[in-house]
């Protein structure tokens, strides 16, 4: 059958960075080995389930740029790939465990269980969890309860003594004392819904999963799953628990560390190729001395042996660096198309405006080197699409100068502008340099109030290229407006 791996999210929220990383590593392993990558929806938590989260899952991976070979939306030979459509299977296999004396019916009602929890908490008992009350019920008593239609669940028989041993591809041999495993967990609930553990094991077996690659936070469930595989007489898939992803504070990555939803990264203006490349490097290496890879290249280079055991730290500055690198690889047309939705959403321009399209295309060389996130484009480009609000007086005034001298410099700028041919940037710059010498001013002092007048800020894309895009007439209007404003304040 070959290598078969899966990504099995619960659609109870939008896709997040941790889930994307798990999916990516499974995908890369499948591609690097000629295997199959499967999507399975584990939707048994109906209280938090939403169709919107399922759609978010599909939309996220279409945007990210890699997809599964089999799954809930594309089909495949071992479907259905949605757990809520497989309930008859789970019931069948849970009942089989009862017949094999590997599981049992439990008739304890919620009142008794609540009382048990209360007593354990009150007495600070070392024995926490279910007390195995129904584990040794006689057959006659069980048959009587069943005949009465008494509510019941099916619980797994956890060995009372000994140790459960399993191998992890990354972590090595792991031994877990059975007394430390949750005592006799529920497999099938009273309403017929399976628990995560039953559905997970049955599905992985029936779908022929050969490797389970998941986050290390799932490691405590591994001994329980091993016991279940042994109970069924099935071969357990090879396990590989991936290193954790931590925030800069050393804690598990969460909302307090900033955006963790893939949607939020997308809205912030990250490119999918940058996000994939950075996430792939969290706890994994590909090629010494190189950081930028196409997805196709990573598919060929990925090896489990290159995964690290130690947790990885999510570094937003490094991600921003990756994003900037990929932005600079875009053509002017590609980048203009990518920033357009952000400009429209910010109200900088309208959607259908050919003139604005042409202006944006011409502006891309001005902002490409400075742009870290696509969402930064509106702030950088607003002055090109409309006259900026007049800046505060102190913004115009160069260091060690006063308002009067600043107005004089702006008037010099206004006299120079009509004589400049901005199609020749270097020639226009030379005129300003020469004039600065003639009037005994620093070039920076001559240009800084001009920049603020033209762009509304001391920090902006290249000034002369900006004036070329705006045209001399518009630049003169802005300079005269600045002079008037300064003279009135």
Distance CA 406, CA 452 (A): 11
* Backbone phi and psi for residue 221, each to the nearest 5 degrees, phi listed first: -85, -15
H-run or E-run covering 51? helix 51-64
Tell me the two tokens of residue 386: 């409309």
Dihedral of CA atoms 266, 270, 276, 280 in degrees, nearest 10, equals -120
Integer Cα distance of 180 and 161 in angstroms: 10
Match 């609540």 to its residue by tokens: 114
| Cα(50)–Cα(430) distance, integer angstroms | 63
The residues carrying an active-site annotation are: 255
Structure tokens at 388: 């900026």
How is residue 337 written in tokens?
Answer: 């198309």
User: 237 to each of 221, 271, 484, how far by Cα in Å?
Assistant: 14, 35, 76
Token couple for 125: 């008992």
d(CA 153, CA 151): 7
Q: Which residues pair with 70 in a beta bridge?
A: 38
77 burial via Cβ count (<10 Å: 0-12, 13-18, 19+): exposed
Q: Which residues pair with 99 in a beta bridge?
A: none
The neighbour count for residue 252, using CB atoms within 10 Å, is: 14
Residue 298 φ then ψ, to 5°: -65, -35
CB 237 within 8 A of CB 200: no
First to last CA, the chain: 80
Phi/psi of residue 355, each to 5°?
-65, -40
How far is residue 384's CA from residue 470's CA, in Å, rounded to a whole number?
Answer: 7
Q: What is the gyration radius of the CA atoms in the chain, in angstroms?
A: 32
Tokens representing 394?
A: 């102190």
Q: How far is Cα 298 from Cα 110, in angstroms, rounded to an integer?
A: 51
| Nearest residue to 257 via CA among 14, 48, 18, 7 | 18
The Cα 271–Cα 191 span in angstroms is 44
């Amino acid at each position: 059958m070959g290598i078969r791996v899966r990504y099995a999210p619960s659609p109870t929220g939008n896709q997040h960075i941790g889930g994307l990383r798990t999916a990516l590593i499974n995908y890369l392993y499948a591609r690097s080995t000629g295997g199959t990558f499967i999507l399975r929806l584990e939707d048994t938590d109906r209280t938090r389930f939403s169709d919107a989260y399922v759609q978010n899952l599909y939309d996220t991976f279409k945007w990210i740029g890699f997809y599964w070979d089999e799954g809930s939306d594309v089909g495949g030979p071992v479907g259905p790939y949605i757990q809520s459509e497989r309930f008859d299977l789970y019931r069948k296999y849970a009942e089989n465990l009862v017949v094999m004396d590997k599981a049992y019916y439990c008739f304890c009602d919620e009142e008794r269980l609540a009382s048990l929890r209360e007593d354990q908490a009150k007495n600070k008992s070392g024995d926490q969890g279910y007390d195995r009350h129904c584990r040794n019920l006689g057959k006659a008593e069980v048959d009587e309860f069943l005949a009465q239609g008494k509510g019941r669940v099916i619980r797994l028989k956890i060995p009372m003594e000994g140790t459960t041993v399993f191998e992890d591809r990354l972590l090595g041999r792991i031994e877990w004392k059975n007394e430390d495993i949750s005592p006799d967990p529920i497999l099938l609930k009273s309403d017929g819904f399976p628990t995560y553990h039953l559905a997970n094991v049955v599905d992985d077996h029936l779908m022929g999963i050969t490797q389970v690659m998941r986050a290390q936070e799932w490691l405590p469930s591994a001994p329980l799953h091993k016991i279940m595989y042994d109970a069924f007489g099935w071969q357990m898939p090879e396990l590989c628990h991936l290193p954790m992803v931590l925030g800069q504070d050393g804690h598990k990555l969460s909302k307090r560390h900033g955006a963790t939803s893939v949607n939020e990264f997308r809205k912030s203006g990250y490119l999918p190729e940058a996000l994939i490349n950075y996430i792939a490097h969290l706890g994994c290496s590909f090629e010494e001395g190189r950081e930028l890879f196409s997805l196709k290249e990573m598919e060929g280079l990925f090896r489990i042996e290159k995964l690290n055991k130690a947790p990885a730290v999510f570094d937003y500055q490094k991600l921003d660096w990756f994003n900037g690198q990929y932005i600079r690889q875009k053509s002017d047309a590609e980048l203009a198309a990518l920033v357009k939705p952000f400009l429209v959403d910010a109200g900088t321009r309208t959607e259908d405006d050919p003139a604005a399209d042409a202006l944006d295309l011409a502006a891309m060389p001005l902002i490409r080197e400075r742009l870290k996130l696509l969402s930064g484009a509106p702030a950088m480009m607003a002055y090109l699409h409309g006259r900026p609000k007049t800046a505060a007086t102190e913004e115009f005034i160069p260091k060690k100068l006063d308002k009067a001298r600043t107005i004089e410099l702006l008037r010099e700028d206004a006299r120079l502008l009509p004589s400049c041919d901005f199609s020749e940037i270097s020639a226009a710059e030379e005129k300003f340099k020469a004039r600065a010498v003639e009037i005994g001013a620093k070039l920076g002092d001559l240009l800084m109030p001009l920049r603020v007048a033209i762009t509304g800020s001391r920090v902006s894309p290249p000034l002369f290229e900006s004036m070329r895009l705006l045209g001399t007439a518009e630049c003169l209007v802005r300079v005269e407006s600045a002079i008037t404003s300064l003279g009135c304040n």
